[in-house]
Amino acid sequence: TPSATNFVAFYLHCYESCGILTTPFVSRTSCMDQLDLNILAHLQRDGRMPYTEIASDLGVSEGTIRNRVTRLVDEQIVQIVGLVDPYQLDFDAPAMIGVTIQGLDLDAVAATIAKFPEVSYLVIVSGEYDLIVEVMCRDRDHLATFLNQQLRTVPGVVRTQTFVILRTHKMAYGARPSLSLPGDRS
């Protein structure tokens, strides 16, 4: 549908803006059809779902699914990765940090900050802050060290505001509403 394709184009544009993907999306999204979107929805629900199961659900051959997934991966539209739950690894001090940049190129500063291993998510935003950075730290001491000895020493960083995450109610990497499968309630 046009709305699903528009959502994917916007979503992919966000990745391009962060420097994760670097080639134009017009050609990628213009060649995506409803089958591609349905495949993406299945993979978002379970990245290890067998191609035979996806094929059966969608009424196409396993080879069609394999070829489509290969193309989506090759074109960097999708990455299939294992996600680790940081809480299970005793990273007990997650935080979101608003960062204000001054005097330097925003993308260059963002690229520098993105290299820190504590950073799990970094976006350039509009509003009060220039960047929103999510970090996963082992404990409060680790968080304080990260803030004072790493983040605040990056050239161009003039102000930070840290929001310590006290409790997580939802952490989802699953299907977006416009890509949902029938029967999904996420």
Q: List, for residues 115-134, the tens digit of each pLDDT value.
A: 999 999 999 999 999 999 99
Distance CA 11, CA 173 (A): 13
Q: Residue 154: give the domain boundaries.
A: 86-164
Q: Tell which wins on pLDDT, 32 or 12.
A: 32
Residue 75 lies in a domain: yes
Q: Which tens digits make up the pLDDT trace of 84-96?
A: 777 788 888 999 9
**Local confidence band at 47 (pLDDT 50, 70, 90 cut-offs):** confident
Residue 180 lies in a domain: no
Residue 60 lies in a domain: yes
Q: Around Cβ 122, how many Cβ atoms within 10 Å?
A: 20
Residue that terminates a domain, selected from 57, 81, 105: 81
Residue in the structure block whose two tokens are 């391009």:
16
Q: 156 and 90: one domain?
A: yes
Q: 120 and 155: one domain?
A: yes
Q: Indicate the pTM of the whole model.
A: 0.64
CA 125 to chain centre: 14
Q: What percent of the chain has pLDDT over 70?
A: 76
Residue that terminates a domain, selected from 64, 81, 98: 81
Q: Convert 153-166 to b/e letters by CB count within 10 Å (16 or more is b).
A: ebebbeebebeeee
Q: Count structural domains, the chain.
A: 2
